[in-house]
Chains A and B, each alone.
Chain A
Amino acid sequence: MSAPSPHTHVEPAEARIAPKPRLRRFHQARWDEPLIFELTSPGERGVGVPVPDLPVPDLPPGLRRAEAPALPEMSQPHVLRHYLRLSQENLGVDLNVDIGQGTCTMKYSPKINDAFVRDPRISELHPLQDESTVQGVLEILYRLEGLLKEISGMDRVSLQPGAGSSAIYANVTMIRAYHAARGEGDQRDEVITTQFSHPTNAAAPKTAGYKVITLMPDADGYPDIEALKAAVGPRTAALLITNPEDTGIFNPRIEEFVRIVHEAGGLCCYDQANANGILGITRARDAGFDLCHFNLHKTFSTPHACGGPAAGASAVTEALAPFLPRPTVEFDGSRYHLDDDRPESVGKIRPFYGVVSNLVRAYAWIMALGAEGLRDVAETAVLNNNYLIHKVLQIKGVSLPYAQGRRRIEQARYSWEQLNADTGIHSEQIGYRVSDFGTHYWTSHHPYLVPEPMTLEPTESYSQADLDEYAAILAEVAREAYEDPETVRTAPHNGPIHQMKGESLDDPGTWAVTWRAYQRKLA
């Protein structure tokens, strides 16, 4: 099987002149599908377990349930149909051009990597197996750490975090442990971040007990360096910053930011969740950072997992290595082993090894590309983004605020402010209407610093034709907004459900994320 390459979509030159994009006459399935608990049919079973021939000894009372578990009773085909139907009412990275999920770095997850993970040599491992019997997977983890060290320039990496936020939280606890070890733990109680950094950079330190100071962007969209100077001091524990920020703007003065914080005695922690535009081009260590993290489910192509376990990686310099979560994977020249004997460690943040299935996928992805391939990923992602910017900015009513004349890296935050002023249509409504053409975008950009925002992130996975199609859909919806705003205002028309009442999403009193919670709220 061939290696997944970001160039697989490039066709011979004569074929590359994309045909004028055709707008799809898309209509999504609507199944009116009940919740699986409502599909229960008493006595229906997925597997008919034979009655045992021999008498079954009674379980000790402490192990016996008082009542049978409240699970739906269903046959296998009913379960299968249920989930297939739900999947038909959904959009996702394997179904549509998913570049409207800006900041999420949606890219193709090569299916070959799933084959590796499903291989019994991985899938049948038990986390409690003796170390001598899991040398192979430990070697993969050890090598993956080596690759991420190279990519970040850092000295040690923990693969334990279960997601980006989990990695940022781990980094914050290491920062806390570092200052405590130097006797400055109580004094340094402030963390500085920026408004366009991912919100976890504020939430994680706050959860860890820090006071959080947020810097706003200056007129060009860069975090305000004068504000940073006013913010740092003997109470500064760290700067947590994303770069490029969610606007796709790379902060060219990042080394100066680091210097200012270091001079005040604080640490610098780089959010490289999304390193897609800078792989092989710049490294956290080279900018002077002490810690950084990666989202393997973004840059390194593993599935995002929708709230399930994804995978993060925390990378640190030698000075912070003693504080890494335990265990670490060590190699003595002949054997691999898990080192749990780390007295200064911040402790365990996940059981066992981390999310091994995703770590294996990330390892396979990096190995298939090689160093040059990684750089190709970054260059293609940046090229795709700037191509799309060029196309989108030809659409009436849209603009790209901040940093005029400067290139965006891997994503761009646009504004429909003009279109809104002209037509009264909001960005969110455009996002709904776009879904009538078989793709979507979301507007999770609170607070709306950029008015009527839209963030597009066309990673290396999308072809020129994909980008043309997406731009053509936006152009069509913008045209409608000017000529037939009612159609946009009342969208979606072709989705499985019509408009949702957004307010209820903001009110925890009306949510129910489990069947049990739903039952309780009904009562």
Chain B
Amino acid sequence: MKVGLVVNPVAGVGGRVGLKGSDSPEVQQQAFALGAVARAGERAATALRELLARRPDAAILTAAGAMGEESARAAGLTPMVVYVPGEPTSAADTVAAARTLAPHVDLLLFAGGDGTARDILEAVGDSLPVLGIPTGVKMHSAVFAVNPRAAGEVAASSSSSSRLRDAEVVDRVDGTTQLFGHLRVPDIPTRVQQRKTGSSGITPDAVSGIAAELADLLTPGELLVLGPGTTTRAIAAAWGVDIPVLGVSVLADQTLVAADVSGDELLKLVTATPARIAVTPIGGQGFLLGRGNQQLTPEVLRRVGLDRLHVVATEAKIAALGGRPLLVDTGDDRLDAAFPRYLRVISGHRRTILYPLHSERH
């Protein structure tokens, strides 16, 4: 079995410092200036380790340096390097590397986010099976495995006779989600992220009930950290506060304290003042933490405490998960393992849904 690997080395650097993506060179520079660390290569190595444990015969073809070679070596492999990128690497390198690999491999793994998925789509279209290792900030496309380990597992269990399905490549552009096309992804449902469902059943009634429940929980002066999403945005709107859909915002006494905060800023705020956090799963995928809200770093979560982390979602949104468990991938295995098996999802005033949570460490 021959597996291609393309790593976008800067994928995800924007997330932990509160930026909404990492696509442009300016954002990347800004992110590194803010102290971001690139983790895409490390996550790709995790996927390869899993693949190799199951398929020791797998041969890895990849691009030089940070675009794959380093990850393969970190996983204990000697890869065949078929492409040498420029310095610094760019989106054009992702496209060129994928094009070079495509005719020679059975499956193409790529590490990145929605922006990287768009580049892969441009490069290879539906010419071969593709699977994303989630390492970006935004991962609304349905082409990603639920986490790096699952990517390795899916890759190992796929063969030329595997069922494939068309998976949407979507990305946020100028505030709206756009569909760019489809990639062919191995059809192993629970291990691959489902497409984000647009409809979250955000009716005024449903959301005002959730807002009322949060209001009951909060004491005067206590901070409420709201994760990204249309549900949390609607909750803030129920109090007359306008917050961005994609960033992390902080409220107190139903007024805005800060919007678009970074992980470090957040840590300062929640260290100074008692706080609660409300997050909503990504519709249709079930990710609670680690996708699009990396500002909620393990340090922030620990400081606030998991018992003060509240999950909010309408009944319709939970129904749209189709029974798939909620997922956490904070980047800290010990923290992931500390989550309970079932979470009380606030679905209305005095109403909760007890819903299973999956962590690799359970």
Interface residues of A (CB under 8 A from B): 195, 202, 206, 210-219, 224, 226-227, 230-231, 446-449, 451, 506
Contact = CB atoms under 8 A, between A and B. Distances in A.
Contacts of B352: 211-214
Contacts of A216: 318, 323, 353-356
Contact of A219 (B315, B319, B323): B323
B319 A447 contact: yes
Contacts of B353: 195, 213-216
B351 A230 contact: no
A227 B342 contact: yes
B201 A447 contact: yes
24 contacts: A206-B350, A211-B350, A212-B350, A213-B344, A214-B352, A214-B354, A215-B353, A216-B323, A216-B353, A217-B323, A224-B354, A224-B356, A226-B341, A227-B342, A227-B355, A227-B356, A230-B340, A446-B315, A447-B316, A447-B318, A447-B319, A448-B319, A449-B319, A451-B322
Contact of B354 (A213, A446, A448, A449): A213
A211 B351 contact: yes
A451 B350 CA distance: 27
B350 A210 contact: yes
B275 to A, nearest CB: 23
A195 B321 CA distance: 14
B210 to A, nearest CB: 14
Nearest to B190: A219
B293 interface: no
Contacts, number: 59
A451 B316 CA distance: 12
A230 B342 contact: yes
B111 to A, nearest CB: 31
Contacts of A212: 350-352
Given A214-B354, A216-B355, 8 more contacts: A206-B350, A216-B354, A230-B341, A230-B342, A446-B316, A447-B316, A447-B319, A447-B320
Contacts of A447: 201, 315-316, 318-320
Contacts of B203: 506
B347 interface: yes
A126 B322 CA distance: 54
> Is chain B's binding surface mostly helix, strand, loop or mixed?
mixed
B15 to A, nearest CB: 30
Interface string B319-362: 11011000000000000000011101001001111111000000
Contacts of B354: 213-216, 224, 227, 230-231
A51 B281 CA distance: 74
Output the residue of A202, A210, A212 with the most chain B CB within 10 A. Answer: A212
B48 to A, nearest CB: 31
A206 B341 contact: no
Contacts of A449: 319
Nearest to B201: A447
Nearest to B342: A230
Contacts of A202: 351
A215 B342 CA distance: 10
A226 B319 contact: no
A447 B352 CA distance: 15
Contacts of B322: 451
A220 to B, nearest CB: 10
Nearest to B323: A219
Interface string B18-61: 00000000000000000000000000000000000000000000
Contacts of A213: 344, 352-354
Contacts of B351: 202, 206, 211-212, 214
A210 B349 CA distance: 11
Interface in B285-315: 315
Nearest to B317: A447
A428 B342 CA distance: 33
A216 B353 CA distance: 7
A448 B317 CA distance: 10
- 3 closest cross-chain pairs (CB), A and B: A447-B319, A230-B342, A447-B316
A5 B340 CA distance: 53
A236 B157 CA distance: 44
A446 B351 CA distance: 16
Nearest to A209: B350
Output the residue of A211, A214, A224, A451 with the most chain B CB within 10 A. Answer: A214
Given A447-B315, A448-B319, A214 B342 contact: no
B30 to A, nearest CB: 41
A206 B203 CA distance: 19
A213 B352 CA distance: 5
Contacts of A506: 203
Interface string B244-274: 0000000000000000000000000000000
A215 B355 CA distance: 7
A202 B351 CA distance: 9
A224 B203 CA distance: 27
A361 to B, nearest CB: 36
A446 B199 CA distance: 14
B319 A214 contact: no
Contacts of B344: 213
Contacts of A219: 323
Contacts of A215: 353-354
Contacts of A211: 350-352
A194 to B, nearest CB: 10
Nearest to B316: A447
A40 to B, nearest CB: 37
A88 to B, nearest CB: 36
A163 to B, nearest CB: 22
A451 B341 CA distance: 26
B286 to A, nearest CB: 12
B64 to A, nearest CB: 43
A224 B320 CA distance: 17
Nearest to A217: B323
A449 B351 CA distance: 18
A233 B352 CA distance: 15
A206 B315 CA distance: 16
B123 to A, nearest CB: 29
Nearest to B343: A230
A263 B315 CA distance: 29
A441 B207 CA distance: 30
A223 to B, nearest CB: 10
Output the residue of B315, B318, B350 with the most chain A CB within 10 A. Answer: B350
A219 B324 CA distance: 9
Contacts of B201: 447
A505 B350 CA distance: 26
A448 B203 CA distance: 15
Contacts of B340: 230
A226 B354 CA distance: 10
B347 A214 contact: yes
Contacts of A451: 322
